Structure 1
Amino acid sequence: MTSMVQESPVSSLAFPVLVRPILSNFEAQDPTASHTLKAAFSKVEHAHPGLTYDLVMGLIKKADVSVNMNESILRLQGYVSDQDSMEYKSSRTEEPFQELNRKSASLKKILSRIPDEITDRRTFLETIKEIASAIKRLLDAVNEVSQYIPGTQGKQALEQRKREFVKYSKRFSNTLKEYFKEGQPTAVFMSATFLIHQTNLVMITVKERCE
């Protein structure tokens, strides 16, 4: 049976992109409560992936409003602070790791612009070029970092993760071709959130194998 996270990456992005930044905004008013809530959500999400998403969708259903979660999560990704995305950043100080941090953040930032730019063909075509370039730079940065990973097993794990990332990059490219034929943006939003999720998985793999 396919898990919810595999079916739609928004389930894994609901906590880091939507809920955690909201809780961070409470920090100025009550740092202790903010920290406690974030830690509790993080623990629950780790034990039961997708639970935050289920909670959010339950609230949306109760409110009886229509929300495209892929589009919403994509937009919100552009507002996630460095502090709220620390789990997807390497703490290693060597330049290749810092470069990887920059390239992964850059790709996610560009992808987050899609909902605002998709209706302007000229702007969107330029954005697509930026995305292709950002994907290549990220892969180059992953290759640089792989030299620092100890052991064959660790290198193979990152290589496998990289292959998955490339697979979803190609899917994103194919989805864009379909969009220019059919004009339906929903599939593009979903494919872009998959790419954000895969970027996060690359960073998690690097952290697990190097820190």
Structure 2
Amino acid sequence: MTGLVQDSPVSSLVFPVLMRPILSNLEKQDVSASQTIKAALSKVEHAHPGITYELVMGLVRKADMSVNMNESILRLQGSVSDHDSMEYRSSRTEEPFQELNRKSASLKKILSRIPDEITDRRTFLETIKEIASAIKRLLDAVNEVSQYIPGAQGKQALEQRKREFVKYSKRFSNTLKEYFKEGQPTTVFLSATFLIHQTNMVMITVKDKCE
């Protein structure tokens, strides 16, 4: 699909979806070590976005493994806890912000089921309906939150982010049409990771303009 193979967002998802949950589990054995590594990796990732992805892919190549990272990240997204995704959750207590938290998490959770359900046509068609509904509910929640954003510039920034989200939602829909014609799931996995990334970017914009 045109444009989707460029600048895959999976590199921005490896740290929050793969590494952070691993380090959270490490806390059960050694809290200090886990927090030190997490803080260091977070700082490096912030300074050099995608470096965690390069690290993981280097290990994968060294082990001579074949891994579809888009598929793997999609699967892992479903098990990411609220604690490990705090950067993509609003801390505002008002109901519209809490609703936005719920709707963004719900969409990502449904998208994470794609690798397991894509081969079962009937189940997958039901999941597609769920995704479409979740996208609409997320956009409704964004509209509600936009009323709380102070100043025209902040509202504009969120509107622009919303337009980007809608663009990638449409691309996801087009990818599904191609999948049912050609039967290649890899582009669906890639498109779904784009949608997760765009959902995260919506949340980051809300936090930036409201908190």
Q: TM-score, normalised by structure 2?
A: 0.97
User: After TM superposition, where is structure 1 displaced by more than 2 Å over at least 4 residues in a row?
Assistant: none
Question: How far does the alpha carbon of each residue in 1:85-137 deviate from its partner, in whole angstroms, 9 at most, with x for none?
Answer: 00000000000000000000000000000000000000000000000000000
Alignment of 1:39-118 (within 5 A): 39-118=39-118
Alignment of 1:8-23 (within 5 A): 8-23=8-23
Structure-2 residue corresponding to 1:132: 132
Structure-1 residue corresponding to 2:33: 33
Q: Bigger shift: 91-100 or 39-48? A: 39-48
Structure-2 residue corresponding to 1:181: 181
Structure-1 residue corresponding to 2:163: 163
Question: How far does the alpha carbon of each residue in 1:5-50 deviate from its partner, in whole angstroms, 9 at most, with x for none?
Answer: x610100000000011000001111111111111111110000000
Structure-1 residue corresponding to 2:146: 146
- 1:164 CA displacement: 0.1
Which runs of 5 or more structure 2 residues have no equivalent in the other structure?
1-5
Question: How far does the alpha carbon of each residue in 1:40-95 deviate from its partner, in whole angstroms, 9 at most, with x for none?
Answer: 11110000000000000000000001000000000000010110000000000000
Structure-2 residue corresponding to 1:193: 193
Structure-1 residue corresponding to 2:208: 208
Q: How far, CA to CA, are the matches of 1:192 and 1:36 in structure 2?
A: 32
SS at match of 1:106: helix
SS at match of 1:150: coil
- 1:186 CA displacement: 0.1
Question: How far does the alpha carbon of each residue in 1:128-187 deviate from its partner, in whole angstroms, 9 at most, with x for none?
Answer: 000000000000000000000000000000000000000000000000000000000000
SS at match of 1:79: coil
Q: How far, CA to CA, are the matches of 2:76 and 2:28 in structure 1?
A: 21
Structure-2 residue corresponding to 1:3: none
Q: How far, CA to CA, are the matches of 1:90 and 1:52 in structure 2?
A: 25
Structure-1 residue corresponding to 2:3: none
SS at match of 1:65: coil
Which runs of 5 or more structure 1 residues have no equivalent in the other structure?
1-5
